[in-house]
Amino acid sequence: MDAQSIYVTALKNTHAIEMQALQIMERQVERLEHYPEMEAALRRHIEETHGQRTRLEEALQSLGDSPSALKEGFLGFVGNMMALGHTPAQDEILKNSYANHAFENFEIAAYESLLTIGEVAGQSGHLSAFQQSLSEEQAMAQTVRELIKPTTRRYLELSLAGAKADR
């Protein structure tokens, strides 16, 4: 096992995470009706995520490799948490908020790890691109965190008024 092959594996894993992120966010965005701030944050981050995906694909290409399909079970408990939000429920928006918070922090960990591996593998040319992706994940994690309370308050208001509040 050499640093280069560990790096390629990390690139592929991170790429798989981003593909999963796109699926999760696109699904939520098309369902959201009553939470415009969450919807706007997701739309913005979907755009960023396309860029993040391209950065990973370019790095893999430069090493003569290409992305591979997500290994089953790779996302483990995060995947299970995401499944919560996919089950129609009265409190869908709350479950999705928790899951988004978890997922953005999962991605932060993945990029910090990727940057560390890239450094050891001598791939300094890629690092500023992934530093940019990391900054975007950190910003989104903070946005999601800051939306937890206002989203919950809106959910309460709508629910207590007998209105549709689920998403």
Footprint of Fe ion (CB under 5 A): 107, 137
| Minimum distance of Fe ion from residue 50's CB (angstroms) | 11
- Between 99 and 121, CB nearer to Fe ion: 99
| Minimum distance of Fe ion from residue 159's CB (angstroms) | 29
Burial (CB < 10 A; 0-12, 13-18, 19+), residue 64, is exposed
CA distance 120 to 118: 6
Cβ atoms within 10 Å of 89's Cβ, excluding its own? 14
Tokens of 153: 């308050």
Q: Do the beta carbons of residue 167 and residue 34 sit within 8 Å?
A: yes
- Between 4 and 138, CB nearer to Fe ion: 138
Tokens of 143: 């946005």
CA distance 140 to 24: 14
- Between 84 and 102, CB nearer to Fe ion: 102
- Between 95 and 101, CB nearer to Fe ion: 101
Backbone angles phi, psi at 96, to 5 degrees: -65, -35
| Minimum distance of Fe ion from residue 22's CB (angstroms) | 9
| Minimum distance of Fe ion from residue 136's CB (angstroms) | 7
